Structure 1
């Protein structure tokens, strides 16, 4: 079997396509959550903490080297951006919580489907109904001949 044919069979499986759709939707969802954290939650946290902007917080490991005469940066500053890291943790916690809530809702729906009573089966026909049905079928056979 050729590699192209094998790849086509692999790529056209339903679960691979479903997974690809999930990845695309997940990426878009991640952008929405990042925007929520960056543009709504963290400014509110900043106001609550006295105007802190977490993305500005960093530990400088090595200062930048700047040419005194031309003010040109010869060697950039080396930093540990712990404020950005905290913001990323908040992103993760919100995404994890949203996924938890979604899975919990799906599991509840599945449980309700399992617990739903089976629809009642049609009652067995009485002896008279069975006899009348048999007679009807015999009469239809005779008419067909």
Structure 2
């Protein structure tokens, strides 16, 4: 069983997946920093200095000055500001992943292979591009 496990772990796709998970975790922390330290302050500035992390709805009907005050009072709250931040984070992450995949696809773009067949001008059968005589209608191909 230990040998099978070692064989499984040493397969290329498992190692690639492990590297992907590690890089994804680091990438996630980078995007979170971008969101929390760059995007959200700019968005707050554009929207009149709204602090999205402090947007909430108290379900007990009372008004609280801040989310911390509502939580200290033990009120049940809907933190829709956190949801907005998470949504923005998701959209940025999805856009960055789109750009990365698009860049990788551009690097892996392969030229289409040269055609290996052509149509016989007399019978329209597919024949080898190097053929000088059609094997179907026996026409000479001098082109």
TM-score, normalising length: structure 1: 0.65
> Quick check: 1:63–1:76 contact (8 Å CA) kept in 2?
no
Equivalences, count: 106
Alignment match of 1:95 (pick from 89, 93, 96): 93
TM-superposed CA distance for 1:34, in Å, is 0.7
Runs of at least 5 residues in structure 2 that lack an aligned partner in the other structure: 63-70, 115-143
RMSD of equivalent CA atoms: 2.4
1:49 aligns with 2:37: no
Secondary structure, counterpart of 1:8 in structure 2: helix
Structure 1 residue runs of 4+, over 3 Å off? none
> Quick check: 1:63–1:77 contact (8 Å CA) kept in 2?
no
**In structure 1, how many angstroms separate the alpha carbons of the residues matched to 2:7 and 2:61?**
55
- Aligned residue in 2 for 1:114: 111
Which structure features the higher share of helix residues? 1
TM-superposed CA distance for 1:116, in Å, is 9.7
Runs of at least 5 residues in structure 1 that lack an aligned partner in the other structure: 65-72, 118-145
**In structure 1, how many angstroms separate the alpha carbons of the residues matched to 2:108 and 2:9?**
29
1:16-71 Cα shifts (integer Å, max 9, x gaps) = 0110010010011011101101111100111111110000001112379xxxxxxx
What are the residue-to-residue correspondences of 1:22-37 with 2, within 5 Å?
Answer: 22-37=20-35
Q: Which has the larger radius of gyration?
A: 1
- Structure ranking higher on relative contact order (CA contacts 8 Å, 6+ apart): 1
